[in-house]
Structure 1
Amino acid sequence: MPDTPVIWRDEELSPIRDKVYQYIKQAIVQGVYKSGERIIERELADQLNVSRTPIREALFRLESQGFVKTLPRKGVVVSKLSPEEIIEIFTILSALESLAMKMAAQKADASQREELTQIIQSIDRSLAKNDFAPEDKNYHFEINDVICRAAQSPRLTQMLDGLSDYIRAFATLGYELPGRLRKAMEEHRDLASAVRNGEAELAESLTKIHLENSKRAYLEALEKE
Structure 2
Amino acid sequence: MPDAPIVWKDEELSPIRDKVYDYIKQAIVSGVYKSGERIVERELADQLNVSRTPIREALFRLESQGFVKTLPRKGVVVSTLSPDEVVEIFTILSALESLAMKQAAVKAEPAHREEMNRIAEEIEKALAQPDGDYDDERWRFHFAINDVVCRAAKSPRLAAMLDGLSDYIRSFVQVGYDLPGRKRKATEEHRDLIKAVRDGEADLAEHLTKIHVENSKKAYLEALNKQ
User: Aligning the two structures, in what range does the TM-score lie when normalised by the shorter sequence?
Assistant: over 0.9
Residue-pair matches, total: 225
Displacement of 1:17: 0.6
Within the alignment, does 1:21 sit opposite 2:21 as a pair? yes
**Partner SS for 1:132:** helix
Alpha-carbon separation, structure 1, partners of 2:85 and 2:92: 11
Match of 2:221 in 1: 219
Alpha-carbon separation, structure 1, partners of 2:64 and 2:114: 40
**Partner SS for 1:76:** strand
Q: Deviations over 1:43-81 (max 9, x none)?
A: 100000000010000000000100001111111100010
Within the alignment, does 1:101 sit opposite 2:101 as a pair? yes
Alpha-carbon separation, structure 2, partners of 1:51 and 1:132: 39
Displacement of 1:141: 1.7
Displacement of 1:4: 2.9
Amino acid at match of 2:83: P
More moved, 137-146 vs 79-88: 137-146
TM-score where L is the length of structure 1: 0.98
Q: Give the gaps of 5 or more residues in structure 2.
A: none
Alpha-carbon separation, structure 2, partners of 1:187 and 1:58: 35
Alignment of 1:174-189 (within 5 A): 174-189=176-191
Alpha-carbon separation, structure 1, partners of 2:7 and 2:137: 28
Alpha-carbon separation, structure 2, partners of 1:51 and 1:121: 47
More moved, 78-87 vs 136-145: 136-145
**Partner SS for 1:133:** helix
Amino acid at match of 1:52: R
**Partner SS for 2:133:** coil
Alpha-carbon separation, structure 1, partners of 2:31 and 2:134: 17
Alpha-carbon separation, structure 2, partners of 1:2 and 1:208: 38
Amino acid at match of 1:10: D
Alignment of 1:1-225 (within 5 A): 1-130=1-130, 131-138=132-139, 139-225=141-227
Alpha-carbon separation, structure 2, partners of 1:113 and 1:42: 50
Divergent runs of 4+, >6 A: none
Aligned pair in 2 of structure 1 residues 121, 214: CA closer, same or farther (>3 Å)?
same
Q: Deviations over 1:100-136 (max 9, x none)?
A: 0000000111111111111111111111111333322
Amino acid at match of 1:74: K
Q: Give the gaps of 5 or more residues in structure 1.
A: none
**Partner SS for 2:76:** strand
* Percent identical: 74
Displacement of 1:191: 0.3
TM-score where L is the length of structure 2: 0.97
Amino acid at match of 1:206: L
Amino acid at match of 1:176: D
Alpha-carbon separation, structure 1, partners of 2:224 and 2:78: 14
Alpha-carbon separation, structure 1, partners of 2:214 and 2:220: 10
